[in-house]
A and B are shown apart, each in its own frame.
Chain A
Amino acid sequence: MMKPINTARFVFLSRSVNESFARGALAAFLAQADPTVPQLADIKTAVSEAVTNCIVHAYPGGLGVITLTVALYENGLVKITVADKGVGIPDVDRAMEPLFTTGNPEERAGLGFAVMQSFMDGVQVRSKPGKGTKVILKKQLSVKE
Chain B
Amino acid sequence: MADVAFQSAGEVLMAYLSGEIDHHTAQTLRQRIDETTLRQLPRVLVLDFGGVSFMDSSGVGLILGRQRRMMQLEGKLVVQHPPAAVERMLQLARVAYQKGGQT
Q: Residues of A at under 8 Å CB distance from B?
A: 16-17, 19-20, 23, 38, 41, 44-45, 48-49, 52, 55-56, 106-109, 111-112, 114-115, 118-119
Q: Residues of B at under 8 Å CB distance from A?
A: 1, 20, 22-27, 30, 54-58, 60-62, 64-65, 68, 84-85, 88-89, 92-93
Given contact pairs A48-B56, A52-B58, A115-B56, A109 touches B93 in the complex (Cβ within 8 A): yes
Residues of A within 8 A of B20 (CB): 20, 23
Residues of A within 8 A of B30 (CB): 107
Residues of A within 8 A of B84 (CB): 38
| Interface secondary structure of A, over-half rule | helix
CB-based contact B57/A109 at 8 Å: yes
User: What residue in chain A is nearest B65 (Cβ atoms)?
Assistant: A107
Q: Name A106's contact: one of B26, B56, B58, B65 (CB within 8 Å).
A: B65
Q: Please give the distance in Å from B63's CB to the nearest CB on chain A.
A: 8
CB-based contact A52/B56 at 8 Å: yes
Q: Name B61's contact: one of A20, A23, A107, A114 (CB within 8 Å).
A: A107
Q: List 19 A-B contacts (CB under 8 A).
A: A16-B22, A16-B24, A19-B24, A20-B20, A20-B25, A45-B56, A45-B85, A45-B89, A48-B56, A55-B23, A107-B30, A109-B57, A109-B60, A109-B93, A111-B92, A114-B92, A115-B56, A115-B57, A115-B92
CB-based contact A111/B57 at 8 Å: yes
CB-based contact B24/A109 at 8 Å: no
Docked Cα-Cα span, A84 to B36, in Å, equals 37
Residues of A within 8 A of B64 (CB): 109
